[in-house]
Amino acid sequence: MRAIIIGGGIAGLASALALTRRGWRVEVFERAPEFTEVGAGLSLWPNALRALDALGVGEGVRGRAVLEGQAGIRDAAGRWLSRTDTAELERRYGPAAMIHRADLLAVLRAAVPEEALRPGITVSEVRPDGMVAYSGGQSRADLVVGADGLGSVTRQSVWPEAPAPRYAGYTAWRVVTAPVLVGEASESWGRGERFGYIPLPDGRVYCYAAANAPEGAPDSGLTGLHARFGGWHHPIPALLDAADPGAVLHHDLYELPPLATYVRGNVVLAGDAAHAMTPNLGQGACQALEDAVVLGTVMGNGAGLGAYDRQRRPRAQMITRRSRRIGAVAQWASPAAVTVRNTALRLLPSASFARSLAPVLDWAA
Ligand SMILES: Cc1cc2nc3c(=O)[nH]c(=O)nc-3n(C[C@H](O)[C@H](O)[C@H](O)COP(=O)(O)OP(=O)(O)OC[C@H]3O[C@@H](n4cnc5c(N)ncnc54)[C@H](O)[C@@H]3O)c2cc1C
- The pLDDT tens digits of the residues spanning 183-201 come to 889 999 999 999 999 998 8
Task: Identify whether 196 is part of a domain.
Answer: no
Q: Which CATH number do you get for residue 268?
A: 3.50.50.60
From the CB of 239, is ligand 1 less than 6 Å away?
no
| pLDDT 10s digits, 65-85 | 988 766 899 999 999 999 888
Mean pLDDT of the chain: 95
From the CB of 11, is ligand 1 less than 6 Å away?
yes
Say if residue 87's pLDDT is above 90: no
Task: Identify whether 221 is part of a domain.
Answer: no
Residue 154 φ/ψ region, left for φ over 0, alpha for ψ in the -120 to 50 degree band, beta for the rest: alpha
Task: Identify whether 217 is part of a domain.
Answer: no
- Return the H-helix or E-strand segment holding 82: strand 80-83
pTM of the model: 0.97
From the CB of 51, is ligand 1 less than 6 Å away?
no
From the CB of 144, is ligand 1 less than 6 Å away?
no
Q: Distance between CA atoms of 1 and 113, rounded to whole angstroms?
A: 16
Number of structural domains in the chain: 1
Q: How confident is the model at residue 212 (pLDDT cuts 50, 70, 90)?
A: very high
Task: Identify whether 302 is part of a domain.
Answer: yes
- List of long-range contacts for 304-311, beta carbons under 8 Å, 24+ apart: 305/143, 305/263, 305/268, 306/263, 308/262, 308/263, 308/268, 309/261, 309/262, 309/263, 309/268
Task: Identify whether 70 is part of a domain.
Answer: no
Task: Identify whether 59 is part of a domain.
Answer: yes
Average pLDDT rounded to a whole number, residues 154-158 = 98
Task: Identify whether 30 is part of a domain.
Answer: yes
284-300 vs 305-330: helix crossing angle, rounded to 10: 170
Protein residue whose Cα sits closest to atom 41 of ligand 1: 123
- SS3 labels along 8-42: CCHHHHHHHHHHHHCCCEEEEEECCCCCCCCCCEE
Average pLDDT rounded to a whole number, residues 150-160 = 98
CB 251 within 8 Å of CB 245: no
CB 297 within 8 Å of CB 303: yes
pLDDT attached to residue 69: 64
Containing domain of residue 129, as a range?
2-64+98-163+257-328
Q: How confident is the model at residue 132 (pLDDT cuts 50, 70, 90)?
A: very high
| pLDDT 10s digits, 325-362 | 999 999 999 999 999 999 999 998 877 888 889 999 99
Say if residue 40's pLDDT is above 90: no
CB 320 within 8 Å of CB 361: no
pLDDT attached to residue 324: 98
Distance 148 CA to ligand 1 centre (A): 8
Task: Identify whether 121 is part of a domain.
Answer: yes
With a pLDDT cut of 90, the percent of the chain lying above it is 89
From the CB of 274, is ligand 1 less than 6 Å away?
no
From the CB of 255, is ligand 1 less than 6 Å away?
no
